[in-house]
Amino acid sequence: MAEVFFDGTFRLRVLEEEKYKDTERLAEEATSFTSKMGQFQDTVQKLVEGMNRHASRIESAKLKALGQRNRVESEKESRKIRAAELQSQINEKRAQLERLQQQLASLQKVDKEQRAIIEKLGNNEP
């Protein structure tokens, strides 16, 4: 059978006064613990959100850095290609210069010979 108790104010209780106070204190502690756990969960949620934002910024910076690295490598390759093209043009121009110098020398030789012939004819030399 259930026992019935009276507290200090003569109120009817199912538990002894000490057990009732312990139960109330436990309920208050449980409420406080639940409140603190809620605050902790909010703090953890804010931390996770901050970490996610930070991770997003890091990922964005990483992608930007990768893009820049790819552009640098691409620029290196295009510069090598451009240098090879310019070297090829230089070689072509040198070859053209050499041909033109040879042609000039040949024309100068022909001019000299023709002047010599004209000089001979002007002096009436056979």
Task: Please report which confidence band the pLDDT of residue 126 belongs to, taking 50, 70 and 90 as the band edges.
Answer: low
2, pLDDT greater than 70: no
Structurally, the chain folds into a number of domains equal to 1
pLDDT of residue 54: 96
Q: For residue 86, give its domain range.
A: 5-122
Q: Each residue of 17-51: pLDDT tens digit?
A: 787 788 889 999 999 999 999 999 999 999 999 99
- pTM comes to 0.49
Which phi and psi angles does 13 have, rounded to 5°? -130, 150
Contacts of 36 (CB under 8 A, 6+ apart): none
8, pLDDT greater than 90: no
CA atoms of 5 and 1, how far apart (whole Å): 13
pLDDT of residue 94: 97
122 or 86: whose pLDDT is higher? 86
Q: What's the whole-number mean pLDDT along residues 75-104?
A: 96
How many of the other CB atoms lie within 10 Å of CB of 16? 13
Q: Each residue of 93-123: pLDDT tens digit?
A: 999 999 999 999 999 999 999 999 998 888 8
Pairing of strands 5-6, 12-13: antiparallel
